[in-house]
């Protein structure tokens, strides 16, 4: 069977519009509980987070996913949805213990008059924040194996990060989705599936018990697990490539990591560069600046943690920023992707910017993420936190045209999704 290059042909983002300043939340928490001033102030400095997005009353993980997928098709009219073979959703905040979010997304897209075929495989991948990347790897591998050049896959990463009120984790919440068109002979980024590096371990750094609407996290321990698994998966990747860690780092143009909060990714890369290139903290920061790392992590400081969507949001922001700087010279650039999922697993993947990427990037309008933002008060934010399961059904009259929404939840618990 001939080798068939596979990867990502396009990416579209959807981030809900409600936005709140982290300082607004911190001031209110300290006003009610002055003893929180020290830990919350330290957490702000540690994370580097500035703002967060949270969903509208009618939005949940499934509607965010559908919205990003619809944007992908709407802004790429040349895509033939009837050629889709796979529709996969990576998420760690599913809406049902049995029915996959991908099935709900299929139905919503069909309600929006997209010709999604019935001869399609839909499935969900859950492994904390790594579910989206694992879904993309799976679909890419299936397409490569089938060796049918006209088939494609839709991989959507969608999540709503929510933690306990009045904790240091609260300031790292967020919400959003990314939709990826995965194809043979990709137009944007080609993935190297043969040399992926992996690391996994059974740990309790982060989890969400059945029935809980909020995640449980051991912050410091989770950071240790992230760094340790990054080191192990990176070494595994280097060995499979037959190259030393020093050479891999020095010949990589861009580094894209899962970003729970801005500074965590920076510290993980600083540690990796110190170990294998012998760089000091200051030297590592200079190295990362020269490799456009800030372009991938800074936007997350103004959106929050989007779990599975985070790594592909970071990739999209980086590619957009670099294209604006160097134009067509972005083609051929080498990328190292590192996707972490608590509990835990890490996947390290090499990628290359496709020759046709400049034409794709020229159509992007990433500023829409910021122009859509709407400043929210604490009352709206607290209303979201208080909603059943972190979500509530909204009346159709309140939903903007062109939106997918949760119209209601039946008495038996089934969720009714519609398109306005």
Tell me: the pLDDT tens digits for 62-97? 999 999 999 999 999 999 999 999 999 999 999 999
Domain for residue 1, yes or no?
A: no
Q: Note down the domain range covering 348.
A: 6-419
Q: What is the DSSP string of 78-107?
A: T--GGGEEEEEEE-SS-S-SSS-HHHHHHH
Q: What is the mean pLDDT of the chain?
A: 95
391 has pLDDT over 70? no
Instruction: Read off the pLDDT band of 387 (50, 70, 90).
Output: confident
50 has pLDDT over 90? yes
Domain for residue 384, yes or no?
A: yes
Phi, psi (5° rounding) for residue 193?
A: -80, -15
Task: Write the CATH number for 177.
Answer: 3.40.47.10
Domain for residue 244, yes or no?
A: yes
Across the range 105-127, mean pLDDT stands at 97
Contact call for residues 101 and 61 (beta carbons, < 8 A): yes
Tokens at 195, concatenated: 């040399």
The tally of domains found in the chain comes to: 1
Instruction: Read off the pLDDT band of 1 (50, 70, 90).
Output: very low
Instruction: Read off the pLDDT band of 393 (50, 70, 90).
Output: low
What predicted TM-score, i.e. pTM, was given to this entire model?
0.96
389 has pLDDT over 80? no
At residue 170, the 3 state secondary structure works out as helix
Instruction: Read off the pLDDT band of 2 (50, 70, 90).
Output: very low
Residue 211 has a pLDDT of 87
Q: Which of 135-144, 313-322, 379-388 has the lowest mean pLDDT?
A: 379-388
118 has pLDDT over 80? yes
Residue that is written with structure tokens 């981030």 in the block: 15
**CA-based nearest residue to 360, from 110, 192, 190:** 190
Ranges assigned E (strand) in 15-75: 18-21, 51-53
Domain for residue 99, yes or no?
A: yes
Tell me: the pLDDT tens digits for 277-301? 999 999 999 999 999 999 999 999 9
Domain for residue 101, yes or no?
A: yes
Query: 286: how many CB neighbours lie within 10 A of its CB?
Result: 12
Prior bond of 344 cis (ω within 30°): yes
Residue 4 has a pLDDT of 84
Across the range 44-61, mean pLDDT stands at 96
**CA-based nearest residue to 198, from 354, 25, 367, 345:** 345
Across the range 174-178, mean pLDDT stands at 98
d(CA 89, CA 101): 6
Residue 392 has a pLDDT of 53
Domain for residue 258, yes or no?
A: yes
Tell me: the pLDDT tens digits for 156-167? 999 999 999 999
394 has pLDDT over 80? no
Contact call for residues 19 and 139 (beta carbons, < 8 A): no
101 has pLDDT over 90? yes
Give the residue with greater pLDDT, 4 vs 139. 139
């Amino acid at each position: 069977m001939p080798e068939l290059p596979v990867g990502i042909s396009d990416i579209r983002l959807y981030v809900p519009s409600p936005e709140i300043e982290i300082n607004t939340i911190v001031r209110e928490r300290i006003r009610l509980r002055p003893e929180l001033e020290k830990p919350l102030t330290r957490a702000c400095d540690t994370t580097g987070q500035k703002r967060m997005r949270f969903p509208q009353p009618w939005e949940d993980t499934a509607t965010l996913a559908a919205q990003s997928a619809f944007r992908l098709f709407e802004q790429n009219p040349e895509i033939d949805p009837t050629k889709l073979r796979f529709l996969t959703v990576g998420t760690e905040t599913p809406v049902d213990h049995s029915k996959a979010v991908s099935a709900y997304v299929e139905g919503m897209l069909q309600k929006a008059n997209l010709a999604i075929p019935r001869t399609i495989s839909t499935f969900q991948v859950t492994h904390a924040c790594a579910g989206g990347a694992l879904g993309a790897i799976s679909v890419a591998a299936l397409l490569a194996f089938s060796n049918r050049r006209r088939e494609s896959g839709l991989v959507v990463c969608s999540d709503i990060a929510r933690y306990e009120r009045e904790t240091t984790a609260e300031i790292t919440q967020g919400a959003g989705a990314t939709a990826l068109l995965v194809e043979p002979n990709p137009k944007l980024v080609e993935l190297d599936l043969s040399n992926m590096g992996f690391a996994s371990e059974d740990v309790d750094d982060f989890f969400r018990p059945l029935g809980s609407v909020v995640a449980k996290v051991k912050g410091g321990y989770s950071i240790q697990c992230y760094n340790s698994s990054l080191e192990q998966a990176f070494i595994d990747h280097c060995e499979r490539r037959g190259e030393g860690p020093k050479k891999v780092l020095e010949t990589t143009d861009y580094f894209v990591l899962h970003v729970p909060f801005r500074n965590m990714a920076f510290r993980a890369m600083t540690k990796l560069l110190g170990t294998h290139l012998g760089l000091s903290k200051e030297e590592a920061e200079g190295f990362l600046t020269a490799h456009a790392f800030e372009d991938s992590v800074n936007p997350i400081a103004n959106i929050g943690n989007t779990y599975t969507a985070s790594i592909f949001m970071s990739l999209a922001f980086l590619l957009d920023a670099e294209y604006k700087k160097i134009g067509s010279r972005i083609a051929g650039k080498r990328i190292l992707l590192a996707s972490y999922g608590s509990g835990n697993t890490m996947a390290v993947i090499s990628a290359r910017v496709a020759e046709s990427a400049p034409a794709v990037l020229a159509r992007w309008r990433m500023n829409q993420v910021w122009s859509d933002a709407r400043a929210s008060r604490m009352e709206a934010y607290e209303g979201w936190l208080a909603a059943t399961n972190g979500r509530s059904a909204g009346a159709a009259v309140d939903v903007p045209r062109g939106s997918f929404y949760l119209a209601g939840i039946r008495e038996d618990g089934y969720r009714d999704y519609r398109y306005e």
